[in-house]
Amino acid sequence: NAGVTQTPKFQVLKTGQSMTLQCAQDMNHEYMSWYRQDPGMGLRLIHYSVGAGITDQGEVPNGYNVSRSTTEDFPLRLLSAAPSQTSVYFCASSRRLAGDEQFFGPGTRLTVL
Amino acid sequence: EDQVTQSPEALRLQEGESSSLNCSYTVSGLRGLFWYRQDPGKGPEFLFTLYSAGEEKEKERLKATLTKKESFLHITAPKPEDSATYLCAVQAVGGGSNYKLTFGKGTLLTVNP
């Protein structure tokens, strides 16, 4: 199993540009989520999904959209990038909705100029 | 609101010098407490899940314990390869986001040879 994969690994955007961060898992996990990690802030939940077609907001959802058309994929879209979105983004998945460990991808380092 | 506080922020040990990392938490009801290890430039790697006070889990030189208010990660005779940031997270029962993890800011452990 490849586990949780993320692309790209690095990305530089200009303010106002849009892009999609890709996330895929091959473990048939129901639950997937997106976090951002900033220095001194810890990991914060952006959006999550409890199954195909079902998504919900986390702590810091503004400026991001998600969709989940398949069990495997959970892309994160930045509609109009802002410097405040400069961060490292991690996708995670878990087998069950509650109580199970989450498996994290390798991350995408995004810089918005 | 769920809160997780980790201490110390940074810890420097000599090889073989045992110590403990602390994770204090406040949740309405604990579904699970998770420990992760994160190496620079990589995603968090799962270590342990603890579900109830009094529970203990071990893996090589690491041992995690749980009380009603805090968790400890004990490191026995650490080696340089144990150097990493250790993250603690809690998942609460009930509330608007039943499945999200609330992370602490982590403890940066450095083990010198």
Nearest-CA distance B31 → chain A (Å): 6
Residue B2 CB-half CA count within 13 A: 27
Give pLDDT, residue A1: 77
**B46 to A103: CB separation less than 8 angstroms, yes or no:** yes
List, for residues B53-63, the tens digit of each pLDDT value. 999 999 999 99
Q: If contacts are CB pairs under 8 Å, which of residues 26-85 in chain B contact chain A?
A: 31-32, 34, 36, 41-46, 49, 51
Q: Which of A50, A34, A39, A42 has the alpha carbon at shortest distance from A105?
A: A34
Q: Give chain B positions within 8 Å (CB) of A31.
A: 99
**B51 to A106: CB separation less than 8 angstroms, yes or no:** no
Rounded CA-CA distance B20/B6 in Å is: 11
Rounded CA-CA distance A40/A34 in Å is: 18
Task: Nearest chain B residue to A46 by CA: give it.
Answer: B100
Task: Nearest chain A residue to B4 by CA: give it.
Answer: A42
10-residue mean pLDDT profile of chain A (113 residues): values are: 93 97 96 94 92 92 96 96 97 85 95 97
User: Could you tell me the pLDDT band of residue B71, with boundaries at 50, 70 and 90?
Assistant: very high
**B101 to A99: CB separation less than 8 angstroms, yes or no:** no
List, for residues B4-31, the tens digit of each pLDDT value. 999 999 999 999 999 999 999 998 889 9
